[in-house]
Amino acid sequence: MPQFHKLEINKTEWEVPERYQMLTPVGSDTTSGCKVAIKKLARPFQSAVHAKRTYRELRMLKHMNHENVIGLLDVFHPSTSLEDFQHVYLVTHLMGADLNNIVRTQKLSDDHVQFLVYQILRGLKYIHSAGIIHRDLKPSNIAVNEDCELKILDFGLARPTENEMTGYVATRWYRAPEIMLNWMHYNQTVDIWSVGCIMAELLTGRTLFPGTDRILYNRGLQKAKTDIHQLNLIMEVLGTPRDEFMQKISSESVSLHRSINSSSRALWYTHRGNSEQNNVSRDIDHLTRVLVLCGTPTEETLSKITSQEARNYIQSLPPLKKKNFKEVFRGANPLAIELLELMLELDAEKRITAEQALAHPYLAQYADPTDEPVSLPYDQSFEDMELPVEKWKELVYHEVVNFVPQQQMLPADTA
């Protein structure tokens, strides 16, 4: 059992093995000399939902073994037994800046964009091959070191592909339209949409679909206005969805009504629950932004939306023609624009996959199918289990005490 020492970080008590020093602001492993990132899980066993989420994140991180995906270097707890087991600490590589910092501080060359997008897709191919959807890809969840080497971070929202996909998951600016339209069984291409939004941001230095955050007295109204604005942004680029697309919307819980004048649109809706009502309104705002860029969905696409109310809303909008991406991204590499259009495809069934995107000519100078590995099978059978907190806690405890780092994950001087 290692010796632990206590310290306070951001007004929170941490208890870590003595090998980890200088934890403010950056931790250092004195055994390896390697700078590391240590994450203390917040309230890991507060409820059965929290405990299962803790187990899921730990299992996923332990499984990941890829150059472009964050993996687990160490996991520890200061407890001496299962009975007093309360805290979980995860140790990963320290990567430095994230893409959000980079986009805000420097203009990227086309070569840089190619290399970064290639690495994102290379990591995503690996994640998807394990049957996992990340669900929260955004610039702040993608870390880059000084050599422009990239890792995908944060599997807190990730889920296996087979799971029923509901709820509001990805950060709204990078959220695929099918999530907002409440498809129950969306697939891995929700991550590809997010990559498209990120790639557009790398090319332009600006968020592609920035929602509004109006400061309103009523919190629910604030959320509703934000969703409406976000949807408007999407529709400005992609255009109004066509009937075929509308039929793919599955939500039956929202009734939407629209009125339009020369300067503004007003949206009213009824819903049985205030929380869902507010989220739906924000999503409508975001979806509208998407459609303004991408145009009105075709009838074929609308047919895949099963919610009549959502279809009614899109059909009530004036027809929107898809914008010319060459004009929107003026000056960008034509191959980059071509790849963007394949990623920002409204119909998820027609959207390009990570593996297909890696073979696109835009990434040809980096692509190497022999060095784009897939994952070993990932055991996700626990996802169907409904257990009490104490049982999940026991499972987490055994994962922690039996952890053995993969050799590939170790720093060179410790392997």
- The boundaries of every CATH 3.30.200.20 domain in the chain are 4-95+376-407
- Contact, 290 vs 346, CB < 8 A? yes
Tokens for 334, please give them: 């034509």
CA distance 95 to 361: 29
Query: Residue 25, preceding bond cis, omega within 30 degrees?
Result: yes
CB atoms within 10 A of CB 224: 26
CA distance 14 to 83: 19
**Residue of 29, 136, 227, 347 marked catalytic:** 136
3-state secondary structure of 20: strand
**112, 117, 120, 123 alpha-carbon torsion, rounded to 10°:** -100
pLDDT, one tens digit per residue, over 259-287 is 332 222 333 243 334 555 556 667 777 88
CATH node for 97-371: 1.10.510.10
Query: Residue 411, preceding bond cis, omega within 30 degrees?
Result: no
How crowded is the C-beta side of 295, counted as CA atoms within 13 Å? 13
Give pLDDT, residue 172: 82
What pTM does this model have?
A: 0.79
Give pLDDT, residue 15: 80
Determine whether 29 is an active site residue: no
CB atoms within 10 A of CB 116: 21
- The boundaries of every CATH 1.10.510.10 domain in the chain are 97-371
- Over its C-alpha atoms, the chain yields an Rg (Å, rounded) of 22
CB atoms within 10 A of CB 131: 16
Give pLDDT, residue 217: 28
- Fold held by 4-95+376-407: Phosphorylase Kinase; domain 1 (3.30.200)
CB atoms within 10 A of CB 343: 24
Query: To the nearest 5 percent, what fractions of the chain are helix, strand and coil?
Result: 40, 15, 45
CA distance 230 to 210: 7
Give pLDDT, residue 269: 40
CA distance 297 to 6: 57
Which portions of the chain are predicted below pLDDT 70?
1, 10, 22-33, 156-171, 182-185, 211-232, 235, 240-281, 406-415
